[in-house]
């Protein structure tokens, strides 16, 4: 007979994978017609990054992440971690943010973000970008400086979840907006995987010597 624990874990894993495939198949099969949205007015973001730059997807995420949180963005100071090409920093600015600071590890994306702000007429000093390791740069920021923190597409590219939240707590923002993948596996777990260093993945090593990074995808119960 096989090991009961091993078989149970295997069954759970297969269930998780199959549920994920079913969900993706159902969503892709819906055939929703793309609708116009925020990023249609800012098309540079369809080409300044190769990561999730499909117009309809960006527009749908804008509705979910920015429009639905307008009350905690307008008139506020916003911190955008893993700010990529500045897409969400610009969105925050256009939603009325008083000031936006983005932190991004990759030089070419930081440069793209600055160029995008210039192209779309964002006044100097209202949206700025630091290039560096988020986990390092957060420790250098003044507590109480930011009202709202964006954590979009970052949490599932690190294993340092609790350390990251401690850094957020030190900054004392009023609001934290998280957009992340959640493991479909049951239990209070973090699903550990490794991934290659790509533009859409963890930033490790140097661009000329790509490496693989260890990441952790938390299950929903892990936060309960």
Residue 95: name the closest of 38, 14, 175 by CA: 38
Could you read off the pLDDT of 109-163 as tens digits, one per residue? 999 999 999 999 999 999 999 999 999 999 999 999 999 999 998 988 888 888 9
Confirm whether pTM is higher than 0.75: yes
Portion of the chain with pLDDT greater than 90, in percent: 54
Burial class (CB in 10 A: 0-12, 13-18, 19+), 138: buried
What is the residue-wise DSSP string for 161-193? Answer: HHHHHHHHHHH--SEEEEE---B-SSSS-EEEE
Chain segment 65-110, per-residue pLDDT in tens: 999 999 999 999 999 999 999 999 999 999 999 999 999 999 999 9
Q: How far is CA 86 from CA 167, 182, 195, in A?
A: 22, 24, 23
| 22-72 confidence digits (pLDDT tens) | 444 544 555 556 678 999 999 999 998 877 678 998 999 999 999 999 999
Structural domains of the chain, with CATH: 33-181 (3.40.50.150)
Q: What is the mean pLDDT of the chain?
A: 82
């Amino acid at each position: 007979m096989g090991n009961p624990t091993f078989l149970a874990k295997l069954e759970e894993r297969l269930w998780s994978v199959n549920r994920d495939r079913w969900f993706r198949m159902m969503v892709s099969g819906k055939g929703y017609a793309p609708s116009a949205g925020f990023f249609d007015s800012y098309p540079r973001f369809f080409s300044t990054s190769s990561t999730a730059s499909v117009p309809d997807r960006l527009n749908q995420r804008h509705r979910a992440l920015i429009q639905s949180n307008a009350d905690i963005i307008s008139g506020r100071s916003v911190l955008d971690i893993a700010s990529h090409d500045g897409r969400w920093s610009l969105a925050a600015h256009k939603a009325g943010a008083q000031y936006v600071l983005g932190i991004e590890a990759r030089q070419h994306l930081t440069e793209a973000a600055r160029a995008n702000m210039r192209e779309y007429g964002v006044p100097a000093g209202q949206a700025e970008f630091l290039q560096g390791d988020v986990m390092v740069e957060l420790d250098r920021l003044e507590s109480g400086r930011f009202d709202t923190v964006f954590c979009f597409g970052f949490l599932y590219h690190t294993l340092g979840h609790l350390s990251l939240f401690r850094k957020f707590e030190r900054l004392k923002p009023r609001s934290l907006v998280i957009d992340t993948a959640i493991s479909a596996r049951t239990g209070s777990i973090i699903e550990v995987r490794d991934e290659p260093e790509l533009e859409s993945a963890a930033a490790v090593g140097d661009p000329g010597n790509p490496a693989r990074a260890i990441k952790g995808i938390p299950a929903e119960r892990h936060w309960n």
